[in-house]
Amino acid sequence: MIPKLSHQTRITEVHSTSVKLGLSYKKQTLESDTYLAGLFSYLTDKSDALGTAINRSKAQSNLDDKDVVRDERVQALKYLLLGAIYNPKAETSASATKLYAIFEKYGLKMTKESYLIESSLIESMLEDYAALELQTDIAAVLGCAELIASLQTAQNNFRTADTIWDEEKTKEGITESASHIKKEVLTIVNDTIVVYLRAMSQVNKELYAEFARAVADIINEVNQAVKRRNKQADELSVEN
């Protein structure tokens, strides 16, 4: 009996399973079954769409991560300069006061703006700090030069991630979410392919038995991984 793929299977696992099923089908000599060919053609299309949606999700997550880093650098710069203003060395305090006045033109509120506006504000502030006449002041505040350089790197990394995200957004066929496509793939596998192969392996065992076993092995492997994961989660829950 071919099992159905567990609905607790993760999105990436559903994608890899659909790919494996497609590769296994290609190894068979079942071209004469046009219905099965149509099922796997549809599965391949949805599998490709799921892979694209997964990549898009990764790109968006990466963009969010890069935004968190640059926000942290902006906050760190504020508090570094604010603290240096109260440095007992008059030279350091004066330099910090001048540098903090520039920061205040933009303020922490920039981190609450949209990604596009925040990028513009950060890059404008970095351009201000790049002025030749400020380099002596920056050098006078311990750690300021390094922090500005770190913010520049964080902003560059965000721009790169933003470009990747824009490319993913413009790709054709990524309007559906990965979680939604996962459900569609599960339906194709469980309610059409598995059901059909169960029946046909009984009707024509000689032709379909090998492929039915291959499909069963692929799905069983994933289901066992899901069971192990659930068992570990239950054990941790009991221990805690």
Residue 210 pLDDT: 94
Task: From 187, 90, 68, 78, select the one nearest 125 (Cα to Cα).
Answer: 78
Residue 130 pLDDT: 96
Residue 79 pLDDT: 95
5 close to 215: Cβ distance less than 8 angstroms: no
Any idea which residue has 């240096």 for tokens?
Answer: 84
Residues near 21 by Cβ (< 8 Å), separated by ≥ 6? 40, 43, 189, 193, 215, 218
pTM confidence score: 0.63
Q: How far is 83 from 6, CA to CA, in rounded Å? A: 56
182 close to 50: Cβ distance less than 8 angstroms: yes
Residue 24 pLDDT: 95
Q: Going residue by residue through the chain (240 aa), what tens digit of pLDDT does each one get?
A: 899 999 889 888 999 999 999 999 999 989 899 999 999 999 999 999 898 888 878 888 888 899 999 999 999 999 999 999 999 999 999 999 999 999 999 999 999 888 889 999 999 999 999 999 999 999 999 999 999 999 999 999 999 999 888 877 766 444 567 888 899 999 999 999 999 999 999 999 999 999 999 999 999 999 999 888 877 655 544 454
Domain ranges of the chain: 11-57+175-239, 59-170
